[in-house]
Amino acid sequence: MPSDVAVHVVDDDVAVRKSLAFLLASEGLPVRLYESASAFLDEVAGAEAGCIVTDVRMPGLDGIQLIRHLKERAIALPVIVITGHADVPMAVEAMKEGAIDFLEKPFGDDIFLATVREALSRYEKNSHQGAQTAEIQSRFEALSERERQVLDGLVAGKANKVIAYDLGISPRTVEIYRANVMAKMQARSLSELVRLAMLIDVA
């Protein structure tokens, strides 16, 4: 696990914070504690890694409002909400807002740890996909305007002759641009080129 990854526990109950911190630390999971959603938001800079465990009902900003603030700041950390029996409807609402799971009190240590590990695994997967998408976007931005036009035609399933007619150039010139696009996008086949283009939503 990367050194900057941590489980961010947000709960106004100091006993709960200490209990969860002890449990996570005993499993070798780095943990950071916050007494409120506001405290967490005041400290984060948007580059945090890992996942968030938060009580759904807290003084000030509750768990649902925290999730909304995270979305506004584009902080894409998986969120697990903790709820009492009476707060299950709030927990369900939190999931509709983007939380990945909720745990109803009292919950077992094994269930808690399994849920946290799943959240961390999801974060790692999303981070990898995000880095891959950024790399593909960088390749796309290196294309010239004409190369992008040819790529658009290829993604639309058009033959070289059709692309050539649409752009007012010769089929041979389209072949040259197509080769350039394949090289710059690092695609070994047309199907891979289309897949890469779809990952960055090239229309």
Instruction: Kindly report which listed range (12-16, 60-64, 128-132) carries the lowest average pLDDT score.
Output: 128-132
Q: Do domains 5-131 and 142-199 have the same CATH topology?
A: no
Average pLDDT over residues 101-130: 89
CA dist 84 → 68, 111, 114, 183, 203 (Å)? 21, 16, 19, 56, 46
Instruction: Kindly report which listed range (5-9, 20-24, 83-87, 117-121) carries the lowest average pLDDT score.
Output: 83-87
Give the CATH class of 142-199.
Answer: mainly alpha
For 40-54, the pLDDT digits (tens) are 998 887 667 899 999
pLDDT over threshold 70, residue 68: yes
The domain spans of the chain are 5-131, 142-199
Report which DSSP code applies to 100: -
Strands 101-104 and 49-55: unpaired
Residue type, 151: L
| Whole-number pLDDT of residue 46 | 63
Which residues face 52 on adjacent strands?
A: 8, 79
Domain 5-131 homologous superfamily, CATH: Response regulator (3.40.50.2300)
As a residue count, the chain comes to 203
| Whole-number pLDDT of residue 91 | 87
Report field, pTM of the whole predicted structure over 0.75 = no
Higher pLDDT among residues 104 and 3, named by residue:
104
